Amino acid sequence: MDWWRRLKKNPLARFGAILLLIFYIAVIAADFIAPYDPYASQPNGSLLPPTKVYWVSQSGQFIGPHVYPTIQGETNLETGDRELIVDFKKPSPLRLFVSGAEYRLLQLSLPLPPKWDEVTIFPGIPLNWHLFGTTNGVKFNVLGTDDQGRDQLSRLLYGGRISMFIGIFGVAISFPLGLLIGGISGYFGGWTDSIIMRLAEVLMTFPSIYLLVTLGAVLPPGLSSTQRFLLIVVITSVIGWAGLARVIRGQVLSIKEREFVQASRAMGGNPLYIIIRHVLPQTATYVIISATLAVPSFIGAEAILSLIGLGIQQPDPSWGNMLSLASNASIMVLQPWLIWPPAVLIILTVLAFNLLGDGLRDALDPRSLRR
């Protein structure tokens, strides 16, 4: 396990892995960590800035962390600023592990064909405990609220489920296809290789943005935004194997001439068995690194698609459609808390995957393994 020791010694790769672990745990346990329902609106609570935490009462007495009920007042038409009405007579203490809205922890539902209706895979664990909150129903909006009065932190946590897992979902579809098709092309050669590679070249010439716009226009109506986006990811992943297949094909052309492959062939091994059992495992180093570096591209694609109206749409949360508010200049100036949290999360996630991928590349470098 020399590569594992080298990976652990790489501080940047370790930072990326720890950051990703924290993000994935947070979005998986979003029901517990998020203080509120991401779809629930607060009365008179639209566009509230992050709630200020107080430690000392209005009389100067230390009473610990607490907040006060806050609602929006009138808007100044000249400056666009909104008045905040804070009721300092009703302090509400902040506590860990408070009871709140009921939920099912770790519930897993997926839209499955042929009708793409959501089917419950795991019913989850019924709970009503949340990581933090107030004890008397006063809202504590860590990152403020959006224009509908919905808690930003809760929407970020729930939206991260789409943004964090969509890359893994896409890689899980496109990479096995690219591996198998590239392996068959390189192993058999001849007319099989020519046909597969010409098809790959045709697929690689399609401009991805035009393909996505076309798919968004031809998908059947009546689908939810999540179902539409998952269908787009499935279709693009199915036709996105071409680049990986070309690289794998080149590696297989060399691997198939090695002694262990020739020995297996001489013993009468089935070609498909030889490809899967002996040839493709030799490409594992490249595949692992490529998969790690490919996930950020799907996360970026989700953000772009949501921005142009083809991805997750309101009221469903995702980092992409939350970031789409950045196209409004007034929001960037007057309500910056709506923009920087999803932007920072996307940047950190992409950076973490790239750092981990670079660390894996260095750790699994064949020259390093030989040394």
DSSP string over 35-69: SS-TTPPPTT-TTPPPPPPEEE-TTS-EEEEEE--
Query: How does pLDDT run along the chain (371 residues), one tens digit per residue?
Result: 677 788 888 899 999 999 999 999 999 999 999 999 999 898 888 888 899 999 988 888 888 899 999 888 776 666 656 778 888 888 899 999 998 888 888 887 766 666 656 677 777 788 889 999 998 888 999 999 988 889 999 999 998 988 888 888 888 888 898 998 998 998 888 898 899 999 888 888 877 767 777 776 777 767 776 677 777 778 778 777 888 898 899 888 888 888 888 888 888 888 888 888 888 888 888 888 888 888 888 887 777 777 776 777 778 888 888 887 766 767 777 788 888 999 899 999 999 998 998 888 887 765 554 44
Phi-psi region of 222 (alpha: psi -120 to 50; beta: other; left: phi over 0): left
Cβ atoms < 10 Å from Cβ of 39: 13
Residue 48, CA atoms < 13 Å, CB-side half-sphere: 30
Q: Which residues pair with 70 in a beta bridge?
A: 86
Alpha-carbon torsion angle 322, 328, 332, 335, nearest 10? -70
Look up residue 113 and give its two tokens. 């064909």
Question: What pLDDT, in 10s, does the model give residues 43-54?
Answer: 888 888 899 999
Q: In what order do the strands lie in the sheet containing 92-105?
A: 54-56, 62-67, 92-105, 125-134
| DSSP string over 211-235 | HHHHHHHHSPTT--HHHHHHHHHHH
Look up residue 85 and give its two tokens. 């009405």
User: For the packed helices 284-307 and 208-218, what is the interaxial angle rounded to 10 degrees?
Assistant: 60
Give the global pTM.
0.84
Cβ atoms < 10 Å from Cβ of 6: 18
User: For the packed helices 225-238 and 284-307, what is the interaxial angle rounded to 10 degrees?
Assistant: 140
Phi-psi region of 14 (alpha: psi -120 to 50; beta: other; left: phi over 0): alpha
Cβ atoms < 10 Å from Cβ of 255: 21
Calpha distance 292→286 (Å, rounded): 10
